[in-house]
């Protein structure tokens, strides 16, 4: 009988340890970074009440939490989360973790090291938009500085971060310096990244300590004036990086490019504008129509940029020849770079962009 | 009036061109490769009526079309597909294209070059299991040799490949040589590959011209006797590659390893058995419980292998230290290598495995 009592006590003690009390904090009360201009909603990257766009898709994307992250410090042995997204199903060319999930990094010896993901509960069906999970557990004692990337390709209606009752939980100052706006298409949006923190904009910022804003708009980034006006309104921009030539046709590039730059230049007269050529899509490999369309698009982009560079000394152009390698394996669907594609792209663009930024004292 | 008639005729002609008649062929009547032992169902990798497994998950995975591909030649300007999978929703750490989609390669100058994907129609909801789409279009005239990988992580109930009416469509002889069985866990299954043809087993086979069979069983690969008996029954195996130490605990490795090898050795006495150490999981970065569990697992694997190598001269061990790099970005969720992780893994294992295979005349 005594043995049974000891066993029960041991089990209860184990259960108490396992079922350690969790206290949830509203992430909006911590440090939320990634909004180029403040918004009224907690996790929305652009305020659609202040900026009206020409179609509902752009409005929807403006409300995504793309590029946003939460900074906090805690000494909890575990980090959990409860969050709510839209009920939309995952796009077929990206993981649900990237679309609707969370991606945690912890600072270790000055570097942000991957710690764990928040997995959206897709097995409950697409109408189920409330997610809950443990991101990391069994951590050694001590204060951890945490960087939690929010869903790349969905809206985030709420987020609560759970830590052990009694452990500290405090907002962390934004450690990222300079303000670099990254505007582009689905590639910038991070469509085929495996996790929210794996978009090229997030990686470029994390790797170099820069404060990057992700303004990728999948399929909707056609050098429209409405974007240019938003970009013109952003204050204290140190550099703009553009993946601007993936969505518009050659004709649209010729029609829109100068107006787009003119509007930005009204309020950012000498800020470096770094335009990347669109990557060579793998869908060109055998599709002759796509080959022609993409080649004309790339030629139009180069023509417009080179012409503008004659009169604007703060515009730069980065060719894309080596963005994806030559083995045709770096996209998820022929268009969208995977983590492998982004790694190759960053290997190509990072030294070139860093060299440009150094000219402006950004390092 | 005449002008209007010409316009209408031109439009009709354009429409006829656009709406070119499609003829669908049952893929089962073409060349289906990837079954180590023939099965009664068209696109099932293991016949569960002949091999009974100890749980329903394994039975389900045995029916996946993992590693299977269809070989055919056509001179059609486009390739379409209609296919049916299970209604299960996509796993949150992989793309739906990898799980339920199709992945086409066309031979060009002796190499298999990516041509396009068949996108499962996830936007219709998870209960919708019938998919239809164009994989590639607008191709230049000429006969194309095609390799179409089937869903990595789902069963495939039917597949019809559509080409232009009047174009040729014929089965293509299997060009892959030797018979290499790859048995493992979710990593082998290809869980976080972006497309069906991007699992490491598919890439190793495609890159080297080897006929590889994918026997990855996500989370269920624990050196069970039932697998060993299946492996023992496969005829004419030139080499076995094992990713065998990801799923079992240290205790299970010690308990099962020798029995597993004994059963295979009964019918494959001198076939090379190439065991890869399990990769260092990124979930160890901050989780002390996981760190201990994984370290003990890796130690157990190394101990068993090295002991067995003393008496079996055809067993090989490949350490995993450099499988994922040291920047912690090569997995989708802390456990599963993405295309970036698989690229690093192949950079590490390919030269080592090729060197072993050359000793057996396999090149």
Instruction: In whole angstroms, give the CA distance from residue B153 to residue B219.
Output: 13
- Total Cβ atoms within 10 A of residue A290: 20
> What are B275-299's pLDDT values in tens digits?
999 999 999 999 999 999 999 999 9
3-state SS track over B35-96: CCCCCCCCCCCCCCCCCCCCCHHHHHHHCECCCCEEEEEECCCCEEEEEEECCCCCCCCCCH
Q: At A8, is the pLDDT very low, low, confident or very high (cuts 50, 70, 90)?
A: very low
CA distance linking residue B66 with residue B151, whole number of Å: 6
In this predicted structure, the answer to whether residue B9 has a pLDDT above a threshold of 50 is no
Residues A190 and A330 in one domain: yes
User: What pLDDT does B15 receive?
Assistant: 46
CA dihedral B173, B179, B181, B187 (to 10 degrees): -50
A203-233: pLDDT as tens digits: 999 999 999 999 999 999 999 999 999 999 9
Interface contact flag, B194 A338, Cβ < 8 Å:
yes
ipTM of predicted assembly, 2 dp: 0.93
Is there a domain that residue A12 lies in?
A: no
Judge whether A260 and A225 are in contact, CB under 8 Å.
yes
In a mutagenesis test of the B interface, which of A95, A190, A331 is the best target, namely the one with the most B β-carbons within 10 Å?
A95
Residue B295 CA neighbour count, 13 Å, CB half: 8
Cβ contacts (< 8 Å) between B144 and chain A: which residues? 286
Report d(CA B22, CA B164) in Å as an integer. Answer: 5
Does residue B2 carry a pLDDT above 50? no
Q: Is the pLDDT of residue A118 over 80?
A: yes
Local confidence band at B87 (pLDDT 50, 70, 90 cut-offs): confident
Residues B138 and B199 in one domain: no
Q: What is the band of A126 on the pLDDT scale with cuts at 50, 70, 90?
A: low
Q: B343–A329: do the CB atoms touch at under 8 Å?
A: yes
Tokens of B44: 């099932």
- Domain presence at residue A213: yes
Closest-CA distance, B148 to chain A, in angstroms, reads: 14
The DSSP secondary-structure symbol of B198 reads G
Residue located via tokens 């509203």: A26
CA distance A148 to A68: 9
Q: How far apart are CA A201 and CA A216, in angstroms?
A: 9
Cα separation, B200 vs B191, whole angstroms: 10
Asked if A241 and A294 sit in the same domain, the reply is: yes
**pLDDT value at A9 more than 90:** no
In chain B, % of residues over pLDDT 70: 93
pLDDT > 90 fraction of chain A, expressed in percent and rounded:
90
Answer whether residue A330 shows pLDDT above 60.
yes
Neighbours of B143 (CB within 10 A): 12
Higher local confidence (pLDDT), B260 or B9 = B260
B64 and B118, same structural domain?
yes
Question: Do both A350 and A315 map to the same domain?
Answer: yes
Residue B49 domain boundaries: 21-171
Cβ neighbours of B116 in A, within 8 Å: 283, 286-287, 334
- What lies within 8 Å, CB to CB, of A270 at 6+ separation is A314
Q: Is A8 within a domain? A: no
Inter-chain touch A114–B282, beta carbons under 8 Å:
yes
Tell whether the model's pLDDT for residue B186 goes beyond 90. Answer: yes
Close Cβ partners of B71 (under 8 Å, ≥ 6 residues apart): B30, B31, B32, B33, B145, B146, B147, B148, B171, B172, B173, B174, B175
Q: Judge: B339–A339 Cβ closer than 8 Å, yes or no.
A: yes
Q: What is the mean pLDDT of residues A162-191?
A: 98
Residue A354 and residue A313 share a domain = yes
Domain assignment of residue B330, yes or no: yes
Same domain, B189 and B157: no
Residue B232 distance to chain A (closest CA, Å): 34
- pLDDT confidence bin for A175, thresholds 50/70/90: very high
Last residue of a domain, one of A149, A171, A193: A171
Record: contact B343-A338, CB cut-off 8 A: no
Question: Is the confidence at residue A11, as pLDDT, over 50?
Answer: no
**For A330, which residue in chain B has the nearest alpha carbon?**
B339
Q: CA-CA distance, A79 to A118, in Å (whole number)?
A: 10
Same domain as B217, residue B162: no
B194 contacts on A by Cβ (under 8 Å):
93, 192, 331-333, 338
Taking all residues of chain B, what is their mean pLDDT, rounded to a whole number? 93
Cβ contacts from A onto B, under 8 A = 168
Q: What is the CATH number of the domain that holds B91?
A: 2.60.120.260
What does the block give as tokens for A106? 């912890």
* CB atoms B286 and A144 under 8 Å: yes
CB B128 within 8 A of CB B109: no
Nearest chain B alpha carbon to A341: B340
Mean per-residue pLDDT for B118-127?
75
> Cα-flanking dihedrals φ and ψ of residue B337, to 5°?
-60, 135
- How far off is chain B from A314, nearest CA to CA, in Å? 33
Of B250, B241, B195, B180, which is closest to residue B222 (Cα–Cα)? B250
Residue-level pLDDT at B319: 97
Residue B74 has pLDDT above 90, yes or no: yes
pLDDT at position A255 is 98
Q: Exposed, middle or buried, B115 (CB in 10 Å: 0-12/13-18/19+)?
A: buried
* A160 & A249 share domain: no
| Residue B18 in this model has a pLDDT that exceeds 90 | no
Residues A154 and A211 in one domain: no
Do A104 and A148 meet the contact criterion of CB atoms below 8 Å apart? yes
CB-CB neighbors (< 8 A) of A194 in chain B = 93, 192, 331-333, 338
Same domain, B150 and B224: no
Kindly report, residue by residue over B299-338, the tens digit of the pLDDT.
Answer: 999 999 999 999 999 999 999 999 999 999 999 999 999 9
The helix or strand, by DSSP H or E, that contains position B298, with its residue range, turns out to be: helix B288-309
In this structure, is residue B10 part of a structural domain?
A: no
Q: Do B95 and A97 touch (CB under 8 A)?
A: no
Judged by DSSP in three states, B134 sits in strand
- B52 confidence band (pLDDT: 50, 70, 90): confident
Query: Which of A192, A287, A328 comes nearest B138 by C-beta?
Result: A287
Average pLDDT over residues A119-135: 81
A181 shares its domain with A321: yes
Q: Which residue of B has its CA nearest to A93?
A: B95
Q: Is B136 a residue whose pLDDT tops 70?
A: yes
Residue that terminates a domain, selected from B171, B191, B226? B171
Nearest Cβ partner for A120 among B92, B122, B338: B92
Of the partner residues B137, B328, B333, the one whose CB lies closest to the CB of residue A113: B328
Chain-chain contact of A92 with B93 (C-beta, under 8 angstroms): no
Predicted local confidence at residue B121, as pLDDT:
84
Determine, for residues B338 and A333 on separate chains, whether the beta-carbon distance falls below 8 Å: no
Q: Is residue A10 part of a domain?
A: no
- CB atoms under 10 Å from CB of B317, counted, come to 18
∠ at Cα A177 (A174, A178), nearest 5°? 130
The first and second tokens of residue A350, run together, are 């990072």
pLDDT for residue A311 is more than 60: yes
Name chain B contacts of A140, Cβ cutoff 8 Å. Answer: 286, 288
Residue B253 lies in a domain: yes
Residue B182, φ and ψ in degrees, nearest 5? -110, 110
For chain A, the domain total comes to: 2
pLDDT at B91: 84
Asked whether B257 and B264 are in contact (CB, 8 A), the reply is no
Contact B287 A137 (CB under 8 A): yes
CATH code for position B311: 3.40.50.1110
Pick B312 or A2 by higher pLDDT: B312
In whole angstroms, give the CA distance from residue B133 to residue B156: 16
Question: Which residue does chain A place closest to B117, by CA atoms?
Answer: A333
Q: Cβ–Cβ of B93/A95 closer than 8 Å?
A: yes
Query: What 3 state SS string does chain A have?
Result: CHHHHHHHHHHHHHHHHHCCCEEEEEHHHCEEECCCCCCCCCCCCCCCCCCCCCCHHHHHHHCECCCCEEEEEECCCCEEEEEEECCCCCCCCCCHHHHHCEEEEEEECCEEEEEEEECCCHHHCCCCCEEEEEEECCCCCCCEEEEEECCCCCEEEEEEEEEECCCCEEECCCCCEEEEEEEECHHHHCCCCCCHHHCHHHHHHHHHCEEEEEEECCCCCCCCHHHHHHHHHCCCCCEEEEECCCCCCHHHHHHHHHHHHHHHHHHCCCCCEEEECCCCCHHHCCCHHHHHHHHHHHHHHHHHHHHHHCCCCCEEEECCCCCCCCCCCCECCCCCECHHHHHHHHHHHHHHHHHHHHHCCCC
Predicted confidence (pLDDT) per residue in A238-284, tens digit:
999 999 999 999 999 999 999 999 999 999 999 999 999 999 999 99
Report if residue B83 sits inside a domain.
yes
- State what percent of residues in chain B have pLDDT above 90: 90
Domain end: B154, B171, B188, which one?
Answer: B171
* pLDDT grade for B25, boundaries at 50, 70 and 90: very high
pLDDT over 90 at A14, yes or no: no
The whole-number average pLDDT for the span B119-136 is 82
Position B16 pLDDT exceeds 50: no
pLDDT range class, residue B78, cuts 50, 70, 90: very high
State both tokens at A173.
């100052």
Q: Do B283 and A328 touch (CB under 8 A)?
A: no
pLDDT of residue B203: 98
């Amino acid at each position: 009988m005594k043995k049974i009592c000891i066993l029960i006590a041991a089990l209860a003690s184990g259960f108490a340890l396992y079922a350690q009390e969790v206290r949830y904090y509203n992430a909006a009360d911590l440090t939320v970074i990634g909004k180029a201009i403040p918004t009224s909603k907690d996790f929305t990257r652009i305020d659609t009440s202040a900026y009206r766009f020409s179609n509902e898709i752009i409005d929807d994307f403006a409300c995504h939490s793309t590029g946003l992250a939460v900074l906090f410090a805690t000494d909890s042995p575990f980090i959990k989360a409860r969050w709510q997204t839209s009920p939309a199903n995952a796009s077929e060319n990206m993981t649900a973790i990237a679309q609707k999930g969370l991606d945690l990094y912890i600072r270790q010896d000055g570097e942000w090291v991957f710690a764990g993901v928040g997995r959206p509960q897709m097995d409950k069906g697409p109408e189920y938009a409330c997610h809950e999970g443990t991101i990391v557990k069994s951590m050694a004692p001590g204060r951890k500085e945490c960087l939690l990337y929010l869903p790349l390709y969905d809206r985030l209606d709420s987020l609560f971060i759970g830590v052990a009752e009694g452990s500290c939980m405090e907002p962390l100052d934004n450690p990222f310096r300079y303000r670099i706006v990254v505007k582009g298409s689905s590639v910038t949006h991070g469509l085929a990244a495996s996790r929210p923190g794996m978009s090229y904009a997030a990686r470029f910022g994390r790797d170099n300590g820069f404060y990057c804003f992700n303004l990728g708009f999948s399929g909707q980034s056609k050098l429209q004036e409405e974007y240019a006006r938003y970009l013109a309104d952003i204050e204290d921009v140190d550099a703009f990086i553009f993946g601007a030539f993936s969505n518009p046709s050659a004709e649209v590039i010729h029609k829109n490019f100068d107006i787009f730059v003119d509007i930005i230049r009204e309020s950012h007269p000498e800020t470096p504008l770094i335009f990347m050529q669109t990557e060579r899509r793998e869908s060109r490999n055998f599709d002759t129509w796509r080959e022609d369309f993409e080649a004309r698009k790339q030629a139009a982009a180069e023509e417009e940029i080179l012409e503008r560079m004659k009169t604007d000394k703060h515009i730069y152009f980065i060719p894309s020849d080596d963005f994806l390698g030559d083995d045709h394996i770096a996209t998820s669907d022929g268009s969208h770079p995977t983590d492998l594609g982004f790694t190759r792209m960053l290997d190509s663009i990072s030294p070139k962009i860093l060299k440009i930024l150094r000219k402006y004292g950004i390092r």
